[in-house]
Amino acid sequence: MSNVYMKTRIQEGKQAREYLKGIKNKRILIVCDQFLSENGAVSYLTDILCSDNVVELFDKAIPDPTIQVVGSGLCMMYQVKPDIVIGFGGGSAIDTAKGIIYFSMIKELVNKPLFITVPTTSGTGSEVTSASVITDPDNKSKHLISSDEILPDVAILDPSLTLSVPQVVTANTGMDVLTHALEAYVATGANVFSDAMAEKSVELLLKSLLGCYQDGNDLKARTRMQEASTLAGIAFNTAGLGVNHSIAHQLGGTFHIPHGLANAILLNHVIEYNCTSREIMNKYAALAVKVQLAEAKEEPRDAIKAIKGLIIALMRCMNMPTSVMELGIDRMEYEKQLKNMVDNALMDACFATTPTKIAGPGIQKILLDIYDVRESGSKG
């Protein structure tokens, strides 16, 4: 049985923010980070909102949003009692807005607000998903919360907002998109609808990611990449993700490795593990054929090599580290955290839809292999 629920209204293009002109006489809470607040970028919203609206700003969002930040947002949510919440920024800002809404609903602090997302990066797909990742710094872990209550009502996709994204962020978020699409494609909740979204996401990414990296002002490439991100978000919101994200959340929570980079470092190792299942190998191979990385007559194992080769090529072209060691993380400290990372990965919400059964020892092996890919004997 397929389960597909797509609620978010998507407004796309340079005129997408025109939707905001129709908002009248409302209490609005904008959630963003301090950078977007201080550099005036938030005027993208405030300049077009009618003056009869009451607009308040919560600009405390940070990378890897913490329980404490969400708690501060809850206090402001209670004070403002907004009719509308707008999450403005990258995935962290949108996840912060989601966390604030989620806990506001649980504690019945306010009536459910209309939720609008305005992403400024192309990576997380958070603008169309019912999930948010919140960090617990005390336990050095990340926790995924999921609820239809935090599925955005409206997503405003304006590629011009992504033109100023730095190369390193373009690379990391771009590989996050690819991970979303690949994990959703083989996740246990996958169906014909999520497959179609994932396939198109990969197709668009192949045409646009390097273009975005090489020329950040290429609006056509930025548009395709934004579409790829949103499609991948819809795909994994339907199908689920897998152990790649389960482990990446722990690498981020423990060592503050950017989420997309953690996913990229893991990706080929997780694909290799998943391919111990012939069924999953065949599905990866089918995707390779769909996006013209391989021909239908090729053996599945050769098609997998094409996917893995693509991942390595993309990372090299975008000057991305391919191991944890390259990030300057001490090996002894890394190994000291292995058990905690393994335990938390097994409890991570993404783990429920991973396609190939894996236990603690398997996760630990992947974590050790990615520390130094030369030592592991694997180039991914």
pLDDT tens per residue across span 119-174: 999 988 999 999 998 988 887 778 888 899 999 999 999 999 999 899 999 999 99
Nearest by Cα to 234 from 81, 129, 356: 129
Secondary structure (DSSP) of 275-304: TTSHHHHHHHHHHHHHTTSS-TTS-HHHHH
Tokens of 98: 């989601």
> Tens of pLDDT along 50-85?
999 999 999 999 988 999 999 999 999 999 999 999
- Strand duo 114-119 + 154-157: pairing: parallel
The pLDDT of residue 5 is above 90: no
Tokens of 363: 């996760």
Task: Looking at the chain, list the stretches that DSSP marks H as alpha helix, in order from N- to C-terminal side.
Answer: 34-38, 43-46, 67-80, 91-106, 167-186, 192-214, 219-239, 243-255, 259-274, 278-290, 300-317, 331-336, 338-347, 360-369, 373-376
Nearest by Cα to 23 from 154, 186, 185, 166: 154
What is the rounded CA–CA span in Å between residue 262 and residue 260?
Answer: 5
Cβ contact 270:176 at 8 Å = no
CA distances 3 to 191, 239, 261, 319, Å, are: 8, 9, 30, 39
Note the pLDDT of residue 380.
46
Across 207-216, average pLDDT: 97
Note the pLDDT of residue 139.
79
Note the pLDDT of residue 379.
45
What is the rounded CA–CA span in Å between residue 269 and residue 72?
Answer: 38
Q: What are phi and psi of 155, to 5 degrees?
A: -120, 125
Query: 3-state DSSP call for residue 149?
Result: helix
The pLDDT of residue 299 is above 50: yes
Note the pLDDT of residue 59.
96
* Chain CA centroid to CA 69, Å: 19
Percent of the chain predicted with pLDDT > 70: 98
Query: 3-state DSSP call for residue 182?
Result: helix
- Strand duo 154-157 + 84-89: pairing: unpaired
What is the rounded CA–CA span in Å between residue 35 and residue 53?
Answer: 24
The pLDDT of residue 105 is above 80: yes
The pLDDT of residue 103 is above 90: yes
Note the pLDDT of residue 373.
76
Nearest by Cα to 289 from 191, 176, 195, 190: 195
Note the pLDDT of residue 211.
97
Category of 215 on φ-ψ map: left (φ > 0), alpha (ψ -120 to 50) or beta: beta
What residue type is assigned to position 283 of the chain?
K
> Tens of pLDDT along 360-376?
999 999 999 999 977 66
Task: Kindly state the DSSP code that residue 174 receives in the 8-state scheme.
Answer: H
Through-space distance between the first and last CA atoms of the chain, rounded to whole angstroms:
34
As to burial, measured by CB atoms within 10 angstroms (0-12 exposed, 13-18 middle, 19+ buried), residue 299 is exposed
Note the pLDDT of residue 378.
46
> Tens of pLDDT along 220-232?
999 999 999 999 9
Across 248-254, average pLDDT: 94
The pLDDT of residue 45 is above 60: yes
